[in-house]
Structure 1
């Protein structure tokens, strides 16, 4: 399984979950299976809602599967889903008639109505004289597949760079000595260091004095 923060790595490729949404509803209208696509409803508050529309002619037909054309496409039932568990059902009068519960949702008990309200609640809801039954809410997800063969080379370069960086910050000193050809018996001494130059000069002077003593 792939989650937002749990990608799948296989064969050098990494698969990420990029997005998640609800795709469609599988319903039964008078025991006839119907698939209804869901569309994301724009909401300025940031709440993600998906809605579907069922024409009233389709809902009230004797055989919903035989309906080919709809003469009144603006009259019908609206289904609103926020998750994969519950679907709100609004009748043709635009009032909430019930809440369909997915059979896959866990529930301790199935009730016909919500407490103290006339709203129906369960896997089946009667709206505008027809029975709706929710089979399932199907989701959709977007995937991103990344495969970068240069990543091992980047890690190798980083591994080689770290020791070189550590060596560059270690203190070191170099000393050279040479005998002058022009002046016999004259010794030329030079040196360099990358840290604490005054202390290095003192050490050089002390070494020369000790050598001449």
Structure 2
């Protein structure tokens, strides 16, 4: 378990699923990280895809085998012993228990009734009695082991049987799910839902008062092979679309194109290109040529945008001219040309994945939480023997030993004391005198 936890921590620190060139650059041999770690230490054992690497899966298999062996050789025999009705026929054996006491002039039947009222299962055989409660606490460790095996099986299925893909789609276009999905392991089998076509009906964004993007949305329609719409949903960040085991997440956005009119002609679709900036800010740009595009020195109107709500325009000399919102349709004069920004077309960034191991992992964690709580229940056992007019009582528990001793004292205080017939006669004579 320590080794598995260590590899999981390492898989969190090391970026997963990147191209080999990424690790060549980040972990070079001539300048190893911490003086030791190079790309060979990562790529050779498969730590660039830690959770599907042979080392990690092999350790999971060893841990599962260890849990199953522990369950078979230790936990199941303990449960079998705990379920037996184990009577003690010797007062000396009973007095050797963790808790022991004697009740003079008492009845084992009265003790049994009091124990039953406190939730004990009571069994008698002649002068002997056996009682227990909390047997579920003995079964719980088996449930804990089974739950852990389920979690590891689900994690293995997720690592080796999933598909994942990413796509950027402009508004109004579509794609087929299977065209963008890539298998993650040898247990990945493409389901029929991969033939489903996804159409981006609309992409739009909401903004803060400061102008920053607050949320972005994609209105998606899913079509089967016959062209029938089988589902439609508008997704946003943290609100994905789920269909047939495939989950589509809204993860990013882009600027696809500008629709522009020049001197009343058009509209023309101008592709917007992302421009590299320092930091996480986005910036997109395009050029509307004003000269023959075949010349060696093409000049035109430059257009820049940080989002879909405003376009900044510059003339052929690179001088700022003005700002226009695509929804305003207001013309602007630049170098003798009337320009109108008709529309801004965004593109949605979607992540798609299938993960057949998720239900197994969730079921495993649910069972683990339940069985862990049950395992804290004390399994208590009580033996008693009617030795003449005295009842010898002894007991033990696997948890909460101090509370068990206090409980036993309270229960034994409730057992009534028997009074013999001769004592009753003597008491009557003394009262008459």
Q: TM-score range by the shorter chain?
A: 0.5 to 0.7
Give 3-state SS (helix, strand or coil) of 1:57's partner: coil
Partners of 1:55 and 1:72 within 8 A in 2 = no
Match of 1:99?
323
Is 1:71 the counterpart of 2:296 in the alignment? yes
Q: What TM-score do the two structures reach when normalised by structure 1? A: 0.68
How far is the alpha carbon of 1:55 from its aligned partner?
Answer: 2.8
Structure ranking higher on relative contact order (CA contacts 8 Å, 6+ apart)? 2
- The partner residue of 2:307 within 83, 89, 92 is 83
Aligned-CA RMSD value = 3.3
Match of 1:193?
397
- The partner residue of 1:57 within 285, 291, 295 is 291
Count of residues in Structure 1 that have an aligned counterpart in Structure 2: 178
Is 1:8 the counterpart of 2:233 in the alignment? no
Match of 2:358?
151
Partners of 1:26 and 1:137 within 8 A in 2 = yes
Q: Alpha carbons of 1:172 and 1:56: their partners in 2 closer, same or farther (altered >3 Å)?
A: same
CA deviation profile, 1:10-44 (whole Å, cap 9, x unmatched): 22322101210111111122213322111222233
The structure richer in strand per residue is 1
- Equivalents in 1 of 2:335, 2:355: separation in Å? 56
- The partner residue of 1:126 within 315, 323, 333 is 333
Is 1:136 the counterpart of 2:368 in the alignment? no
What 5-or-longer segments of structure 1 have no aligned partner?
59-66, 108-121, 179-187
- Equivalents in 2 of 1:13, 1:57: separation in Å? 49
Give 3-state SS (helix, strand or coil) of 2:375's partner: helix
Give 3-state SS (helix, strand or coil) of 1:160's partner: helix
How far is the alpha carbon of 1:199 from its aligned partner?
Answer: 5.5
The structure richer in helix per residue is 2
Q: Alpha carbons of 1:166 and 1:24: their partners in 2 closer, same or farther (altered >3 Å)?
A: same
What 5-or-longer segments of structure 2 have no aligned partner?
1-233, 386-391, 419-433
How far is the alpha carbon of 1:97 from its aligned partner?
Answer: 1.4
- Equivalents in 1 of 2:342, 2:403: separation in Å? 84
